[in-house]
């Protein structure tokens, strides 16, 4: 992939494949990306019942290497990445000194002194520059792999089965949840992690850009359905997974959005934002992100006011119709006294009051294999 002219949308190495399959393309975070192929609901259901794949090559990918690579990542991430052994990965936030979330990232320990950090597309440049700025004090090097590689997410209850028909079957079966490893595919180095953003099982794959098209086509031939950003949004919302820019930003700390488990405070290490996060962990939260389910017809959308007894308490940060549950679901910030499960609320949907209730997180949890009818 080459950089486009200034102001032009960037394209992944699979752009021609998306056009060949008739995808509807839209601007997203500076990239031209497929929002749907056959339809959002069809693609959503394919991931929930079989296997679907997403081109996520627009996401930031940074390789951090060197004897102090882990120490650098400990310094910029909320989770202690020095605890990872090769083959392990962990979710974290990158925070500013005030504890605000600059991005949520996933870090994989590929080998001793070699890590892959995956950042959101909208924040890739910001996180790259942040890493470069703070790498100066460490024996570590940063390589931007965003344009030289492609990234695919293959998700669904039959994802591993389909992948086993394309990659080495033993390799696919060897990966445990949240684990990662490297293998070869048609002579190309391929990185795989058993992670995702849909609430389903599956793998995320990173390969050289030139291997992107043949890998994509091999997965199509194996019965994996192409899916766009529209289905990715409804899938992640059902799983109550956060979206940067909607559910969190630099005004939000990890504890307000239920990410305390991704913050390591007991190792005594100084990392960016530690003091602010220590204070946040000790005090009562001023707000918390909750899950809302509509109790009647109507669709809650980002920005809708959340009210109780006519008083606005917050706003919807993420909201849509849930294809799996058949109702509207949403997330939004509320003060602690209104965040208890079962609390009855009203959401203003274009001037019409919509009854909703606080429900447990997540909205959807994938059934165990023996409970599926497939």
Residue 114: inside a domain, yes or no? yes
End-to-end, the C-alpha distance of the chain in Å comes to 39
Would you state the torsion angle of the CA atoms of residues 126, 260, 100, 75, taken in this order, to the nearest 10 degrees? -50
Q: Which string of DSSP letters, residue by residue, matches 87-146?
A: TBEEEEEEE-TTS-EEEEEEEEEEETTEEEEEE-GGGHHHHHHHHHHHHTTSS-EEEE-T
Distances (CA, A) of 312 to 186, 257, 342, 347: 57, 20, 18, 9
| Same domain assignment for residues 103 and 161 | no
Query: For 81, phi and psi rounded to 5 degrees?
Result: -70, -10
| Same domain assignment for residues 182 and 296 | no
Confidence (pLDDT) at 6:
60
Domain final residue pick, 120, 144, 168: 144
Pairing, β 180-185 against β 114-119:
unpaired
Full-model pTM: 0.95
**Nearest residue to 41 via CA among 284, 326, 285:** 326
Residues 6 or more apart whose Cβ sits within 8 Å of residue 166: 185, 215, 218, 219, 222
Confidence (pLDDT) at 19:
98
Are 102 and 94 in contact by the 8 Å Cβ rule? The answer is yes
For the chain, the farthest-separated pair of C-alpha atoms sits apart, in whole angstroms, at 64
Residue 338: inside a domain, yes or no? yes
Are 107 and 90 in contact by the 8 Å Cβ rule? The answer is yes
Structure token pair of residue 20? 């060949």
| Same domain assignment for residues 39 and 152 | yes
**How far from the centroid of its chain's Cα atoms is residue 303's Cα?**
21
Confidence (pLDDT) at 4:
62
Residue 126: inside a domain, yes or no? yes
Are 256 and 285 in contact by the 8 Å Cβ rule? The answer is yes
Residue 4: inside a domain, yes or no? no
| Same domain assignment for residues 103 and 137 | yes
User: In whole angstroms, what is the distance from residue 129 CA to residue 374 CA?
Assistant: 46
Confidence (pLDDT) at 374:
31
Run of H or E including 207: strand 202-208
User: In whole angstroms, what is the distance from residue 289 CA to residue 252 CA?
Assistant: 10
| Same domain assignment for residues 139 and 151 | no
Are 361 and 305 in contact by the 8 Å Cβ rule? The answer is no
**Nearest residue to 196 via CA among 221, 159, 150, 163:** 159
Distances (CA, A) of 131 to 64, 68, 93, 115, 295: 9, 13, 13, 13, 45
**Nearest residue to 54 via CA among 319, 231, 234, 242:** 231
User: In whole angstroms, what is the distance from residue 127 CA to residue 70 CA?
Assistant: 16
**Nearest residue to 149 via CA among 173, 182, 103:** 182
Are 292 and 300 in contact by the 8 Å Cβ rule? The answer is yes
DSSP state of 209: G
Residue 248: inside a domain, yes or no? no
Number of independent structural domains in the chain: 3
Structure token pair of residue 170? 């033993």
| Same domain assignment for residues 140 and 169 | no
| Same domain assignment for residues 126 and 87 | yes
Residue 10: inside a domain, yes or no? no
Confidence (pLDDT) at 7:
72
Pairing, β 225-226 against β 52-55:
parallel
Residue 345: inside a domain, yes or no? yes
**Nearest residue to 58 via CA among 133, 129, 153, 190:** 153
Could you list the residue range(s) of the whole structural domain that residue 328 is in?
284-359
Domain final residue pick, 110, 127, 144: 144
For every one of its 374 residues, what pLDDT tens digit does the chain have, with 9 covering 90 and above? 455 666 799 999 999 999 999 999 999 999 999 999 999 999 999 999 999 999 999 999 999 999 999 999 999 999 999 999 999 999 999 999 999 999 999 999 999 999 999 999 999 999 999 999 999 989 999 999 999 999 999 999 999 999 999 999 999 999 999 999 999 999 999 999 999 999 999 999 999 999 999 999 999 999 999 999 999 999 999 999 999 999 999 999 999 999 999 999 999 899 999 999 999 999 888 999 999 999 999 999 999 999 999 999 999 999 999 999 999 999 999 999 999 999 999 999 999 999 999 999 999 999 876 444 33
Are 116 and 61 in contact by the 8 Å Cβ rule? The answer is yes
| Same domain assignment for residues 108 and 132 | yes
Residue 370: inside a domain, yes or no? no
Domain final residue pick, 80, 112, 144: 144
Residues 6 or more apart whose Cβ sits within 8 Å of residue 179: 87, 88, 89, 193, 194
Residues 6 or more apart whose Cβ sits within 8 Å of residue 208: 148, 149, 150, 188, 189
């Amino acid at each position: 992939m080459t950089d486009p002219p200034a102001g032009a949308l960037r394209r992944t190495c699979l752009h021609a494949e998306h056009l060949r399959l008739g995808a509807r393309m839209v601007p997203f975070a500076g990239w031209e990306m497929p929002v749907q192929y056959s339809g959002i609901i069809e693609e959503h259901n394919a991931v929930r019942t079989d296997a679907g794949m997403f081109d996520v090559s627009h996401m930031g990918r940074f390789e951090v290497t060197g004897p102090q690579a882990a120490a650098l990542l400990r310094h910029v991430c909320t989770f202690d990445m020095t605890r990872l052994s090769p083959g392990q990965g962990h979710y974290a936030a990158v925070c500013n000194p005030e504890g605000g979330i600059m991005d949520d990232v996933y870090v994989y320990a590929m080998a001793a002194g070699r890590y892959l950090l995956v950042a959101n597309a909208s924040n890739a440049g910001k996180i790259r520059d942040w890493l470069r700025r703070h790498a100066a004090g460490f024996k570590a090097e940063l390589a931007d792999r965003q344009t030289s590689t492609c990234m695919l997410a293959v998700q669904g209850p039959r994802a591993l089965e389909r992948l086993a028909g394309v990659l080495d079957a033993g390799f696919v079966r060897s990966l445990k949840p949240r684990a990662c490893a490297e293998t070869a595919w048609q002579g190309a180095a391929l990185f795989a992690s058993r992670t995702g953003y849909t609430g389903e099982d599956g793998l995320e794959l990173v390969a050289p850009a030139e291997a992107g098209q043949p890998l994509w086509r091999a997965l199509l031939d194996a019965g994996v359905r192409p899916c766009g950003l529209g289905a990715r949004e409804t899938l992640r919302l059902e799983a109550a997974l956060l979206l940067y820019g909607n559910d969190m930003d630099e005004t939000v700390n990890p504890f307000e959005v239920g990410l305390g488990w991704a913050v390591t405070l007991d190792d005594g290490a100084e990392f960016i934002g530690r003091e602010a996060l220590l204070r946040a962990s000790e005090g009562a939260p001023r707000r918390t992100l909750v899950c809302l389910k509509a109790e009647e017809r109507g669709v809650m959308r980002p920005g809708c006011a959340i009210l109780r007894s006519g008083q606005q308490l917050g706003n919807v940060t993420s909201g849509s119709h849930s294809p799996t549950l058949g109702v509207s679901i949403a997330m939004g910030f509320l003060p602690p006294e209104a965040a208890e499960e079962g609390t009855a609320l009203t959401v203003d949907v274009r001037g019409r009051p919509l009854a909703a209730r606080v429900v447990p997180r997540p909205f959807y949890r994938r059934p165990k294999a023996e409970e599926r009818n497939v």
